[in-house]
Amino acid sequence: MTDGENTNDYYTNWNESIYTGLSYIKQNRLINPGAGSTGTQRTAAMDARLALLCSNMRAQDIIIYTVRVEVDSQGNNVLRDCATSPDHYYEVANAANLSDAFASIAGSITQLRIAH
């Protein structure tokens, strides 16, 4: 569950960004800051990383549900593409409607098991 907008805005501090799960931009874990990365390049790199993660999970037969919440913009399909199928993707325009999405997900899960 996320807004699906992979962003890491440039800040004028010595780290060149805020700290995220990808660390600071300056630490080269996402994109080479020496290349003068833009917000668009950073978003593309994060989208590509997420797409690879989702692909690897689906290859292991992991079922992926994605929920995109309160987003006005169109065009970022990374969460829709990440989901196991279109039926596993939920677009929620208002957070007040999250319970409907989660009720649908809960209803579609017929067997829950933990596996190695």
**Does pTM top 0.75 for this prediction?**
no
Measured at the alpha carbon of residue 108, what is the angle toward residues 91 and 89, in degrees to the nearest 5? 20
Give the per-residue pLDDT at 52.
93
Among 15, 20, 16, which residue's Cα sits nearest to residue 5? Answer: 20
Mean per-residue pLDDT for 66-81?
Answer: 79
CA angle 112, 115, 116 (to 5 degrees): 160
Mean pLDDT of the chain: 78
The residue that leads in pLDDT, 108 or 61, is 61
Burial of 30 (0-12, 13-18, 19+ CB in 10 A): buried
Inter-residue contact 42 to 5 (CB < 8 Å)? no
pLDDT score of 46: 83
Q: Please give the backbone phi and psi of residue 66, each rounded to the nearest 5 degrees, phi first.
A: -125, 145
Higher model confidence: residue 82 or residue 73? 82
Asked if residue 16 has pLDDT above 80, the reply is no
